Structure 1
């Protein structure tokens, strides 16, 4: 089957940088009228990400810090610490759900944001949450991980199903379960799920070098980085840019 060709209409605009508050970022946004699951299949392979129905990528002239990353699922082998994380959380119940509003999910999201991050996401209304996390222009589903005794959600992962892999859009979890490494567990589960589905990649979103909150993405190897319009092995990227 041949891959459909697309001619995209894009717009660029300036906004505050999500990572460096003192900076502005330049965003290239695909025309919302063209934003479909099929367009995202192509765009995500070229460094784009999704926020709600918006398919976008940063194109800042004086900064190229944001690098899209993906893990090669067939070659990933969990290390000893990651195996312990899998075992520690193996009691959790997992189910796949459509991207619809669930009050318990929203309540968990707000607790997570307030205790872990703060910032504007901790003040999101139910409407904001629905727009940015559940509104979609892709093939999206939720992975709900719940405690077996109470059935309460321990973690929720928003995941896109694309042509060559799953994409981890956003994950939030019980902020009081500090020793469970729930964020890592969700990624490990998504890696195994992508492999089971026959996908070569799990997309992990943007990674920024020398940005500590993004360091966890280096723990899942082999990782590829989208740089200068091509995917490079992580080590090759570091050699080329340092």
Structure 2
């Protein structure tokens, strides 16, 4: 399903829950401008805050509002009053796919296909606070340039919808045929990729030349975790 289709379906469920017959009525019910709704349709992305507000106002199941899965309303004993399942009795869980690609935190590794090799479940309320769960993926890290913050073979959670750079934040970035995890700083016309491991010097990319076509922000890193051997 495309982002545009998923967005249209989510907006339709919001309208049903809020008894709205038009985008203008939906905007009034959410306390936002009609332009915000039209903007969401154009981008193909519904802000998680709209779903959370609708769940709070109507008691609807937030997972149903977001994805059309499960009942529109959960039984009272399974909710915490916001339309989300309670963590002790069957939490609202969302499985994020683990993609068949390896991010490099060192010398770089080639990106492979977009297939998946399973996934891991996270609490839905956690993911929605962080961004858009539909744009999130998990990837494994290769290399030691981010040690001790991120280790070789750690998992990282990426939101591919967050590609606008906030200086100092952690991102997965692509340059030429390699993918890296770095903290990003910015200067006029330049990007600085910083490692945590002092053995790796910062890398400065001049985006006013050919580098601009070879550099891309894949997504912001939201979480990392590891399995102990």
Establish whether TM, by shorter chain, passes 0.5: no
TM range, smaller chain: under 0.3
Structure number with greater CO (CA < 8 Å, separation at least 6) is 1
TM score, norm. by length of structure 1: 0.23
Computing the radius of gyration from Cα coordinates, the structure with the larger value is 2
TM score, norm. by length of structure 2: 0.24
